[in-house]
Amino acid sequence: MPRDLADVLHYFMPEIDADAPSPEASVAVDAPTDPVGAPPPRVRDRFTFAPPDPVSVAPESPPLSILGLPIGDRDVVRAALAWNLSVETARLGDAALLLAPASTADSPLWPEAGPGPLGTELVLSAATGLADLEIHATELAKSHAAKTRGRGIVFVRVPPAWIASERASTQAIHWWLLLSSANRRELRHAVDVAERLHAADPDVQIGATIHGVSSISEASSAFEHLARLSREGFGGALRSYGLLVDDLHVYRAIAAQRPIGLAHPQAPATRALMDVARLLAEDTRSRAIG
Amino acid sequence: MRVFAEDYLAESSPIDLLAVGGEGELIALRIGRDGDDAALLTHCLADIGWLRPRVPDFLKLAPTLGLEASAEPRAMLACPGFTRETVTAASSFAARTVELLTYHGVRERGQLRILLGTPDSPRLARSTKPLLLEDPPSDPAEEDPAEETVPHVATATRPQAEAPDPEDSAGGFRTGLRDEDLVLEPLEEEKSFD
Note the pLDDT tens digit of each residue in A73-88. Answer: 878 788 888 989 999 9
CB contact under 8 A, A216 and B176: no
**How confident is the model at residue A78, as a pLDDT?**
87
**How confident is the model at residue B98, as a pLDDT?**
93
- Cα-Cα end-to-end distance for chain B: 45
CA-CA distance, B73 to B51, in Å (whole number)?
7
- Per-chain mean pLDDT for chain B: 71
Interface of B with A in 80-99 (CB under 8 A): none
For chain A, give the percent of residues with pLDDT over 70.
70
pLDDT exceeds cutoff 60 at B187: no
With beta carbons less than 8 A apart as the criterion, state whether A178 and A208 touch. Answer: yes
CA-CA distance, A45 to A32, in Å (whole number)?
9
Show the DSSP H helices in chain B as ranges.
37-51, 55-61, 84-91, 150-156
Residue B139 per-residue DSSP state: B
pLDDT exceeds cutoff 60 at B128: no
Count of CA atoms in the C-beta half-sphere (13 A) of A161: 7
With beta carbons less than 8 A apart as the criterion, state whether A79 and A107 touch. Answer: yes
CB atoms within 10 A of CB B149: 14
Residue in chain B lying closest to A273 (CA): B177
Element (H or E) spanning B3, and its range? strand B2-9
**How confident is the model at residue B165, as a pLDDT?**
40
**How confident is the model at residue B106, as a pLDDT?**
66
pLDDT exceeds cutoff 90 at A187: yes
Residue in chain B lying closest to A181 (CA): B193
**How confident is the model at residue B159, as a pLDDT?**
34
Higher pLDDT, A170 or A173: A173
Structural domains of chain A ordered from first start: 1-59 (no CATH), 65-289 (3.40.50.300)
- The model's pLDDT over B20-68, given as tens digits with 9 standing for 90+, comes to 988 889 999 999 988 889 999 999 999 999 999 999 899 888 888 888 8
CB contact under 8 A, A248 and B188: yes
**Cβ-count burial of A176 within 10 angstroms (0-12 exposed, 13-18 middle, 19+ buried)?**
buried
Closest residue to B184, CB basis, from A3, A77, A245: A245
Residue in chain A lying closest to B191 (CA): A77
CA-CA distance, A9 to A20, in Å (whole number)?
9
**How confident is the model at residue B1, as a pLDDT?**
81
Average pLDDT rounded to a whole number, residues A259-269: 81
Higher pLDDT, A115 or B137: A115
pLDDT exceeds cutoff 80 at A61: no
CA-CA distance, B84 to B122, in Å (whole number)?
5
CA distance B71 to chain A (A): 22
Long-range contacts of the stretch B65-68 (C-beta < 8 A, 24+):
B65/B2, B65/B4, B65/B20, B66/B2, B66/B20, B66/B24, B67/B20, B67/B24, B67/B25, B67/B26, B68/B23, B68/B24, B68/B25
SS (H, E, C) A210-259: EECCCCHHHHHHHHHHHHHHHHHHHCCCEEEEEEECCCHHHHHHHHHCCC
CA-CA distance, A32 to A248, in Å (whole number)?
66
Measured over the CA atoms of residue A181, residue A185, residue A188 and residue A190, the dihedral's sign is negative
Interface of B with A in 19-78 (CB under 8 A): 36, 38-40, 42-43, 61-62
B166 in contact with chain A, both atoms CB, cutoff 8 A: yes
Give the pLDDT band (50/70/90) at residue B181: confident
Higher pLDDT, A31 or A221: A221
Q: If you count them, how many residues does chain B have?
A: 194
CA-CA distance, A93 to A86, in Å (whole number)?
11
Count of CA atoms in the C-beta half-sphere (13 A) of A126: 0
Give the pLDDT band (50/70/90) at residue A70: very high
What CATH number does domain B2-161 carry, 3.40.190.10, 3.30.470.10, 3.40.1350.10, 3.40.50.1100?
Answer: 3.40.1350.10
Average pLDDT rounded to a whole number, residues A244-258: 74
DSSP character string of A66-89: EEEEE--TT-HHHHHHHHHHHHHH
Higher pLDDT, A143 or A110: A143
CA-CA distance, B154 to B163, in Å (whole number)?
19
pLDDT exceeds cutoff 60 at A290: no
CA trace torsion A227, A231, A236, A240 (10° rounding): 10
Higher pLDDT, A233 or B137: A233
CB contact under 8 A, B39 and A6: yes
Give the pLDDT band (50/70/90) at residue B112: low
- Spatial CB neighbours of A158, under 8 Å, sequence gap ≥ 6: A68, A69, A70, A71, A130, A133, A173
> What crossing angle do the helices spanning A76-91 and A248-256 adopt, rounded to 10°?
90
- Cα-Cα end-to-end distance for chain A: 23
3-class secondary-structure state, position B98: strand
Residue B135 per-residue DSSP state: P
Count of CA atoms in the C-beta half-sphere (13 A) of A122: 22
**How confident is the model at residue B62, as a pLDDT?**
85
Count of CA atoms in the C-beta half-sphere (13 A) of A285: 14
**How confident is the model at residue A151, as a pLDDT?**
82
- Please give the ipTM for the structure prediction: 0.72
CA trace torsion B106, B112, B113, B118 (10° rounding): 60
Domain locations along chain B: 2-161
**How confident is the model at residue B117, as a pLDDT?**
79
- The model's pLDDT over B73-110, given as tens digits with 9 standing for 90+, comes to 999 999 988 998 999 999 998 888 999 988 876 665 55
pLDDT exceeds cutoff 90 at A168: no
At A109, the amino acid letter reads L
Higher pLDDT, A119 or B39: B39
A216, A217, A243: best mutation site toward chain B, by most B Cβ within 10 Å?
A216
Contact list in B for residue A227 (CB cut-off 8 A) is 170, 172
CA-CA distance, B161 to B155, in Å (whole number)?
9
**How confident is the model at residue B148, as a pLDDT?**
28
With beta carbons less than 8 A apart as the criterion, state whether A273 and A85 touch. Answer: yes
- E-assigned strand segments in B58-110: 74-79, 98-108
